Amino acid sequence: MNSEIRSEKIQQIVVTAEQMRTIENRIFSAGMPVAALMEKVALKITQRLQKFLSENSITSSNKIGILVGPGHNGGDGLVVARELYFLGYPIIIYSPFSKRKELTEAHANYAVSLGIPVSSNIEELQTCDVLIDGLFGFGLERPIAGELANAIDTINTGNKWVISIDLPSGIHTDTGEILGTAIRADLTLCLGLWKQAFLQEVGLDYIGIAELIDFDIPLTDIQEILGKSPFLNRITSSTAIQTLPLPRSANSHKYKNGHLLIIAGSKQYTGAAILAGLGARASGIGMLSIAVPNSIKSLLSSTLPEALIIGCPETENGAILKLPEDIDLRRYQTIACGPGLTPEAHLIVETILTANCPIILDADALNILSKLNPFFTLSSRQSTTIITPHLGEFKRLFPELIELEKNKINLAKQAAELTQTIIVLKGARTCIATPNQVWINPDSTPALGRGGSGDVLTGLLGGLLPPIILAEKPVESIVNSAVWWHSQAGILAAKERTELGVDAYTLTQYLIPALRQFIKTNS
């Protein structure tokens, strides 16, 4: 298999601690010596560390501390210590455990024979400029307490670079939960396959920058345990771009590129409709119609002159009362409904739920839906339904699930199964769940945590759907693409403007620049 194709597949795969353990045991049972694999992994870690040290102007005059645990994660750390020592770096090993696994003990003995100092006193690390955390890898389940917890807290208050091997020690592999306390890493080098903790929001502040160290696990071993269509997957730039309707055919025209109807806005929340419209504009949608209250129609027309703005009767408070009598919902390949509607627009939402085309429900449409028996209402629809709640909206929609399950990934999957919808559970690690699979967007930015960002996503996703539907391609993948693209725009904007400078309108201006940088890379 082509190495690039293999690398792309590996980047998508996510495992639990139990699955990783089973895969490793298959490798060992097939004849790979544990000691040989440890050497291979540790040498790959060392190569990455050399690059990190160089990039951060860390030289052989800077002391490096290696935190060593009792298991094979500690063994990895000891091989790294040995290799960095041979490269000329002054090394000190912190090892607070009296008992170690046999292989780890052998590496510890060899380190001592080389003259590398070993200490159980955390204070000995005060003179180090860099710390490498090899205390615990995947599979830790017991809380860290006592002297070791105090040592970790001391490390976290120090002004040093911290790099963790596999996972920051103290983080639960599957949930990301902090087990008493945990190392706060600047860089975490995940080994072999991505663990679920990297896709949970609980431990993100401890992980820092995350990178995968691929040590060539055979895909056949992975598929034997996970199957060819794993339950949980990471979105990558390659998978996101492949689904976009690019390049367009030479004879493309507006009808082939589809027609989107956005129903949004109110006198109180005019901006929501504008932001959704601007998100749709970036998608390249062939035809865009936006239904808004009559009182704000002129504002939309001046901002989005290419769109057909449909004025609607409104309530006394300026919310959409109903759609005009002459509007035919069969004209549209997709309807996106919700941003800025206010709860008064319940008749609109009830009408859209009866449409015979894919619909996207967001914001106030979800708040209205929460009062309409969501499980029954959604599962009875014949066409595709996509809902895009943040966690608060999700709780209002599915309070029964929240009471039974705290894991965000499992929550989204269960809700998708029960409602037969595609659920975009938004957050720092947005989760896209279908009844069969879950995809996680692994890259985002806190800059997107501002009002209006979700309205932009609704418009962008709404605009991407029609050409996919007309081409009779699966809808699920383009949802992943929209979420990924939206995040990349936020990341690029934050890079240029800082995380404080990315309001929702600014975000819309970065959608095309963000995509262009990846199209160039992949062309």
pLDDT of 4 reads 82
CATH 3.40.50.10260 segments of the chain = 3-229
CATH 3.40.1190.20 segments of the chain = 237-516
Q: Count Cα atoms within 13 angstroms, Cβ side, for 182.
A: 30
Residue pair 465/373 in contact (Cβ under 8 Å)? The answer is: no
Angle, to 10 degrees, between the axis of helix 270-283 and the axis of helix 511-522? 20
pLDDT of 406 reads 75
Sheet of strand 64-68: strand arrangement: 118-119, 91-94, 64-68, 130-134, 161-165, 187-191, 209-213
Position 82 pLDDT exceeds 50? yes
Q: Which residues are annotated as a binding site for AMP?
A: 426-430, 454
DSSP lists the bridge partners of residue 260 as: 288, 334
- pTM for the model stands at 0.94
Beta strands in 247-361 (DSSP E): 259-263, 287-293, 308-312, 334-337, 359-361
Q: Which of 191-195, 323-327, 406-410 is predicted least confidently?
A: 406-410
pLDDT of 249 reads 85
User: In this structure, what token pair is assigned to residue 233?
Assistant: 């997957």
Q: What is the pLDDT of residues 450-495, one digit of tens each?
A: 999 999 999 999 999 999 999 999 999 999 999 999 999 999 999 9
> What number is the average pLDDT over the span 89-98?
96
Query: What CATH number should be reported for the domain whose range is 3-229?
Result: 3.40.50.10260
> What number is the average pLDDT over the span 46-55?
97
Q: What is the pLDDT of residues 421-447, one digit of tens each?
A: 999 999 999 999 999 999 999 999 999
Please report the sign of the dihedral spanned by the C-alpha atoms of residue 114, residue 115, residue 121, residue 124: negative
Residue pair 194/14 in contact (Cβ under 8 Å)? The answer is: yes
Position 202 pLDDT exceeds 60? yes
> What number is the average pLDDT over the span 10-33?
97
pLDDT of 520 reads 62
pLDDT of 253 reads 85
- Closest-CA residue to 296 (of 262, 329, 273, 263): 273
pLDDT of 523 reads 43
> What number is the average pLDDT over the span 259-264?
98
Q: How far apart are CA 490 and CA 494, in angstroms?
A: 6
Could you tell me the pLDDT band of residue 357, with boundaries at 50, 70 and 90? Answer: very high
Position 317 pLDDT exceeds 70? yes
Q: Which residues are annotated as a binding site for (6S)-NADPHX?
A: 72-76, 137-143, 166, 272, 340, 390, 455
Q: Which residues are annotated as a binding site for K(+)?
A: 73, 133, 169
pLDDT of 250 reads 85
User: In this structure, what token pair is assigned to residue 198?
Assistant: 């990297």
User: In this structure, what token pair is assigned to residue 315?
Assistant: 């309530």
Q: How far apart are CA 111 and CA 157, in angstroms?
A: 28
pLDDT of 1 reads 64
Tell the residue number behind the tokens 């002004």, with chain if given.
159
What proportion of the chain, given as a percentage, has pLDDT over 70? 99
Q: Which residues are annotated as a binding site?
A: 72-76, 133, 137-143, 166, 169, 272, 340, 390, 426-430, 454-455
Q: How far apart are CA 460 and CA 463, in angstroms?
A: 5
Residue 228 amino acid letter: K
Give me the architecture of the 237-516 domain, per CATH: 3-Layer(aba) Sandwich (3.40)
